[in-house]
Amino acid sequence: MSQAPLAVGVAGVGSLGFHHARHYGALAESRLAGVYDTRAERAREVAGELNTRAFDSLEALLAEVEALSIVVPTPQHHDVAMAALRAGRHILVEKPLAATIAEAEAMVAEARRRGLVLQTGHIERFNRAVRAAAPHIDGPKYIESDRVAPFVIRGSDVAVTLDLMIHDLDLVLSFMRAKVADVRASGIGVLSRSVDIATARIEFEGGAVANLTASRLARERVRKVRIFQPTGYLSLDLAAGTGEFLRLKRDEVMKVMLSGGTPDLGKVVETVPLDAPEGDALRLELQSFIRAVRGEERTAVSGEEGLEALRLAFRVMEAMGNVQ
């Protein structure tokens, strides 16, 4: 017997929050009970377009839902999340989890104490290229990531480390699964009062290294990740959702080593196509949240994982002498 659709709401219906609400309204697993935004006119506009209800207060929305997407500006994450958790509601909080580590720690502790789902909106975990690469990632030794985008006002209230780089910090942590040993970084602000372009070198226990670049000063968007590991090299284009795995033929490599010959790349490497089912990353993320709330699977990106990514982001900012 199928379960009744989960009653969900969205707090904050700007450009991204609108898409949260749109997907909830279209999914069979959920029922969009309503939306709330501090801009009442915007909430009414979205509610009208999606045939749902605009609530006049967060408290009123919380009274009608079982779960909530929180898509308000980062400085407001903590207050909205704590109100939802204290009302007994499961929450999905857009990245970064909070504006400060202390706020994120309080949110994680409250969710744990009440036995509620707290999922962090690290959407790149659901990127088609990442999903396709996941079965092949095995003990990376070196990772490079480049994430650049044009400047937009949305997100510029925090450093590019929290706005953009945190996506890749989360991915690197999920790929490496090792403790961070050292962080070196540099960054500058150009169009905002905070850092707009940053680079970071992260060393892990065991010797693995990740080099990350993030910028919101580019003309075009680029989101690429390259992973080097003992079994070969993975190249991922997150913007396109594509990638390839150049896998070493261990037997051929051994033959070349024993013969003392020069490796022929065409003979010692095979190209493994990376493929995963198509699917809108946000839709997949919301479906995973619903299943976690229902107890059907573990939380895809837990509050604890969101907290770890945030801690690493602040270590990066501290390394560059900027903690704003």
Q: Which residue has the tokens 């279209």?
A: 26
252 and 174 in a single domain? The answer is: yes
For the segment 106-114, the average pLDDT, to the nearest whole number, is 98
State pLDDT tens for residues 255-284.
Answer: 655 566 566 565 667 888 898 999 999 999
Rounded distance, CA 108 to CA 173, Å? 18
Q: What pLDDT, on the 0 to 100 scale, is given for residue 322? A: 59
315 and 171 in a single domain? The answer is: yes
Q: What pLDDT, on the 0 to 100 scale, is given for residue 89? A: 98
Higher pLDDT, residue 44 or 266: 44
| Residue 42 included in any domain | yes
For the segment 81-99, the average pLDDT, to the nearest whole number, is 97
Q: How confident is the model at residue 254 (pLDDT cuts 50, 70, 90)?
A: low
Res 176 pLDDT > 80:
yes
68 and 117 in a single domain? The answer is: yes
Domain of 110 in residue numbering reads as 6-124+282-302
Q: How confident is the model at residue 305 (pLDDT cuts 50, 70, 90)?
A: very high
Higher pLDDT, residue 10 or 188: 10
**CATH code at position 237:** 3.30.360.10
Res 235 pLDDT > 50:
yes
For the segment 215-231, the average pLDDT, to the nearest whole number, is 93
Q: What pLDDT, on the 0 to 100 scale, is given for residue 1? A: 43
Q: How much of the chain exceeds pLDDT 90, in percent? A: 80
Q: How confident is the model at residue 316 (pLDDT cuts 50, 70, 90)?
A: very high
What integer best gives the mean pLDDT of the chain? 92
For the segment 137-150, the average pLDDT, to the nearest whole number, is 95
Look at 1-15, 34-48, 145-159, 302-316 and tell me which has the smallest mean pLDDT: 145-159
Res 317 pLDDT > 70:
yes
Count of the separate structural domains present in the chain:
2
Q: What pLDDT, on the 0 to 100 scale, is given for residue 74? A: 92
Res 205 pLDDT > 60:
yes
For the segment 133-152, the average pLDDT, to the nearest whole number, is 93
| Residue 1 included in any domain | no
Res 92 pLDDT > 60:
yes
| Residue 324 included in any domain | no
**CATH code at position 32:** 3.40.50.720
Q: How much of the chain exceeds pLDDT 70, in percent? A: 91
Q: What pLDDT, on the 0 to 100 scale, is given for residue 150? A: 86
Q: What pLDDT, on the 0 to 100 scale, is given for residue 213? A: 96
107 and 168 in a single domain? The answer is: no
| Residue 24 included in any domain | yes
For the segment 185-206, the average pLDDT, to the nearest whole number, is 90
For the segment 18-43, the average pLDDT, to the nearest whole number, is 98
109 and 169 in a single domain? The answer is: no
Rounded distance, CA 57 to CA 54, Å? 9
